């Protein structure tokens, strides 16, 4: 695999990562995971990148791992490649959770197995009528990875997560939206434009506050009320003196749109 199987673009402070194996429904193979990790590390440290979008080329988001490659590992009785692959996946999921920018999964079509859980690892998921999810691991005798046990359970609850993981059933777009797997459901014909509009809205927001909101939401999932209150207290005191808060309040008082962050 080469970088051509993962495309990158930064426009209007929005970084877009496009999985580019449309002939294979963008299944992850070779060094695609490492390429994604390396680019995310670059974006995480770039203050000019204010939002990240992950999507797929063609008609699919991502079909998960390349099963033919995994079958070769079995033939060779070798789990070392699986070990290395999972290590990279875990680093990607951790970075998606901890990088300061909001990360959007633009789920333009089927997202199965690792593709589904990659989307769930993002902060926000936007879909269209072609969106289709499946925890398909069970169909090949495996369990979810890409942090799916954490993210799916948090989104739909233990009982539903158990059902979806044990059956591998397909979840169509309207049901995914109802379950909370999708934040927004857009028409296919305007999907790309709607995703960009949503991303521009986040990219125009106050980056320090958005980063703190991201940390707070993830931390609250496993925190006590006292821990949540302590998080709010510490971060609010810090943010009140930030450039973003100063700009936001002055813009409000001056009745004009705020201009957050540095370009």
Instruction: List pLDDT tens digits, range 203-260.
Output: 999 999 999 999 999 988 877 778 878 888 888 888 888 888 888 888 888 999 998 9
pLDDT > 50? residue 46: yes
Specify whether 193 is located in the same domain as 134: yes
CATH at 132: 3.90.226.10
What pLDDT, on a 0 to 100 scale, did the predictor assign at position 10?
97
Of 185, 203, 221, the position where a domain reaches its end is 203
CATH at 221: 1.10.12
Specify whether 109 is located in the same domain as 197: yes
Please count the structural domains in the chain: 2
What pLDDT, on a 0 to 100 scale, did the predictor assign at position 262?
59
What pLDDT, on a 0 to 100 scale, did the predictor assign at position 68?
82
Specify whether 222 is located in the same domain as 113: no
Counting residues of the chain whose pLDDT is more than 90, the rounded percentage is 71
pLDDT > 50? residue 96: yes
Per-residue tokens: 55: 């999507």
Tell me if 66 sits within 8 A of 72, measured CB to CB: no
Specify whether 164 is located in the same domain as 231: no
In a domain, 260, yes or no: no
Range of the domain at 150: 3-203
Q: Mean pLDDT across the stretch 94-114?
A: 97
Look at residues 16, 202, 217, 245 and name the one whose alpha carbon lies nearest to residue 102. 202
Specify whether 37 is located in the same domain as 162: yes
DSSP alpha helix (H) spans, 19-107: 32-44, 67-75, 80-98
Specify whether 16 is located in the same domain as 75: yes
What pLDDT, on a 0 to 100 scale, did the predictor assign at position 248?
86
């Amino acid at each position: 695999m080469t970088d051509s199987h993962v495309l990158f673009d930064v426009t209007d402070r929005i970084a877009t990562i496009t999985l580019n194996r449309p002939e294979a429904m963008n299944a992850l193979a070779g060094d695609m995971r490492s390429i994604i990790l390396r680019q995310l590390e670059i974006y995480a440290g770039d203050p000019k990148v204010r939002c990240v979008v992950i999507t797929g080329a063609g008609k699919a988001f991502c079909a998960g791992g390349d099963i033919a490659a995994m079958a070769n590992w079995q033939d060779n009785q070798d789990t070392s490649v699986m070990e290395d692959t999972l290590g990279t996946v875990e680093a990607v999921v951790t970075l998606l959770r901890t990088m300061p920018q909001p990360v959007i999964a633009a789920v333009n079509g089927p997202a199965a197995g690792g593709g589904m859980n990659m989307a769930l690892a993002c902060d926000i998921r936007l879909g269209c009528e072609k969106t289709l999810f499946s925890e398909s691991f069970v169909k090949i005798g495996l369990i979810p990875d890409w942090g799916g046990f954490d993210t799916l359970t948090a989104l739909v609850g233990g009982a539903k997560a158990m059902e979806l993981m044990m059956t591998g059933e397909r979840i169509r777009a309207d049901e995914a939206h109802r379950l909370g797997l999708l934040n927004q459901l857009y028409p296919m014909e305007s999907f790309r434009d709607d995703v960009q509009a949503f991303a521009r809205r986040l990219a125009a927001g106050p980056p320090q506050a958005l980063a703190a909101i991201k940390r707070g939401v993830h931390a609250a999932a496993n925190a006590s009320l006292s821990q949540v209150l302590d998080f709010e207290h510490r971060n609010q005191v810090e943010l009140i003196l930030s450039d973003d808060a100063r700009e936001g309040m002055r813009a409000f008082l001056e009745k004009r749109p705020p201009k957050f962050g540095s370009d």
